[in-house]
C-alpha cells in the first residue's frame, strides 16, 4: 500500500480501509496522546481516584471538557454547574452534524458509536480531507482516536503513581490548547466581531460574577450571538 491508495481507491477491502482510517488518525493522534497523558497526571494530582481518567474519557470523550472538569470535580462544583458547563463547552458539537459523513455508516450500532465519538478531531479530519469515507475507514479513525485518548490518560495516571509529587503548572496545557484552537478558528478578519463580542462578554462576566466568569461569559456570548443574528444575521447570511 502506498501513500496514494487512500485517494486512488475509493473503497477497498476492510483491512485496506482500516489501514487508511488509522493513517488518517496519526497526525491528530500525535497531539492527543501527550494531552491525554497530561489529563491523566492532572486527575491524580487533583486528588481524584485514578479511574476517573478512563471513566471520563469514555463518558465524555471530549478532551477540552475533561481537562476543564478535573478542576471543577476536585472542588465538588455543584452538579448543575457541571451540567451547564458541559452543555456550553460542547455546544459546538451541534454544528458538526452539518458536514460529518455519517451517511456512509449503515450498521445501527456502528452509527451510534460514530455519533458518540464525533469529537473535534474527527470532525476536523473529515472536514479537511477530500477522501471518500467508508464505514470501515471512518470507524477505524474514530476508534483510533479513542484508543489514543484513553491510552494517554492511563499512561498519565501510571506516571503520576510512579513519580508522586505535584508538578505545578501542568494545567497550563489546557490554556495553550484553547489559544491554538482560537488561532485556528480565526483565520482572517471575518472572525474579529465574534472575538470582540467574546472579549466584551467575558469582561462583563468578570465584573458580574467573578467566581463563575467562564460559565457566565460563555452564556453571555451565546446570547450576544443570538442578538447579533436577530439584528444583522438574516441579512448577511442570506447574501452569503
Partner 1 sequence: MPETWYLVAVLVIVFTITVGLRSVPFVVLGPLRGSAFVTAMARWMPAGLLGVLAAGTLLGAAGTGGEHLLPALCAVAVTVLVHLCLGRRTLLSVGAGTTTFLVLVNLF
CA angle 73, 60, 154 (to 5 degrees): 80
Identify which of residues 16 and 54 has a Cβ nearer to partner 1 in the complex.
54
Instruction: Give the footprint of partner 1 on residues 119-158 (CB under 8 A).
Output: none
Instruction: Give the footprint of partner 1 on residues 152-171 (CB under 8 A).
Output: 167-171
Of positions 107, 182, 208, 223, contacts partner 1 by CB under 8 A: 182
Identify which of residues 159 and 170 has a Cβ nearer to partner 1 in the complex.
170
Identify which of residues 115 and 158 has a Cβ nearer to partner 1 in the complex.
115
φ, ψ of residue 131 in degrees (nearest 5):
-60, 155
Q: How far is CA 166 from CA 47, 70, 102, 163, 170, in A?
A: 10, 15, 42, 9, 9
For 48, the grid coordinates are 481524584
Identify which of residues 86 and 129 has a Cβ nearer to partner 1 in the complex.
86
Does 116 bind partner 1 (CB under 8 A)? Our answer is yes
Of positions 42, 53, 56, 138, contacts partner 1 by CB under 8 A: 56
H or E segment and range at residue 125: helix 120-128
CA-CA distance, 151 to 128, in Å (whole number)? Answer: 25
Does 82 bind partner 1 (CB under 8 A)? Our answer is yes
Number of residues that bind partner 1 (CB under 8 A): 87
Amino acid at each position: 500500500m502506498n501513500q496514494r491508495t487512500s485517494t486512488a481507491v475509493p473503497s477497498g477491502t476492510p483491512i485496506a480501509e482500516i489501514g487508511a482510517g488509522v493513517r488518517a488518525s496519526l497526525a491528530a493522534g500525535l497531539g492527543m496522546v501527550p494531552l491525554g497523558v497530561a489529563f491523566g497526571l492532572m486527575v491524580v494530582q487533583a486528588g481524584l481516584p485514578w479511574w476517573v481518567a478512563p471513566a471520563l474519557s469514555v463518558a465524555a470523550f471530549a478532551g477540552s471538557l475533561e481537562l476543564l472538569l478535573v478542576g471543577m470535580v476536585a472542588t465538588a462544583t455543584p452538579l448543575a454547574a457541571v451540567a451547564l458547563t458541559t452543555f456550553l463547552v460542547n455546544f459546538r458539537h451541534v454544528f458538526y452534524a452539518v458536514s460529518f459523513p455519517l451517511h456512509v455508516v449503515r450498521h445501527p450500532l456502528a452509527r451510534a458509536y460514530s455519533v458518540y465519538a464525533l469529537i473535534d478531531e474527527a470532525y476536523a479530519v473529515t472536514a479537511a480531507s477530500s477522501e471518500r469515507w467508508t464505514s470501515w475507514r471512518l470507524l477505524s479513525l474514530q476508534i483510533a482516536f479513542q484508543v489514543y485518548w484513553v491510552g494517554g490518560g492511563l499512561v498519565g495516571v501510571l506516571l503520576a503513581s510512579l513519580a508522586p509529587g505535584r508538578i505545578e503548572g501542568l494545567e497550563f496545557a489546557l490554556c495553550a490548547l484553547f489559544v491554538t484552537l482560537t488561532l485556528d478558528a480565526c483565520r482572517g478578519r471575518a472572525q474579529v466581531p465574534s472575538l470582540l463580542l467574546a472579549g466584551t462578554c467575558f469582561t462583563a462576566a468578570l465584573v458580574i460574577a467573578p467566581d463563575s466568569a467562564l460559565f457566565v461569559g460563555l452564556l453571555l456570548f451565546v446570547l450576544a450571538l443570538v442578538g447579533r443574528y436577530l439584528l444583522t444575521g438574516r441579512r448577511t447570511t442570506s447574501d452569503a
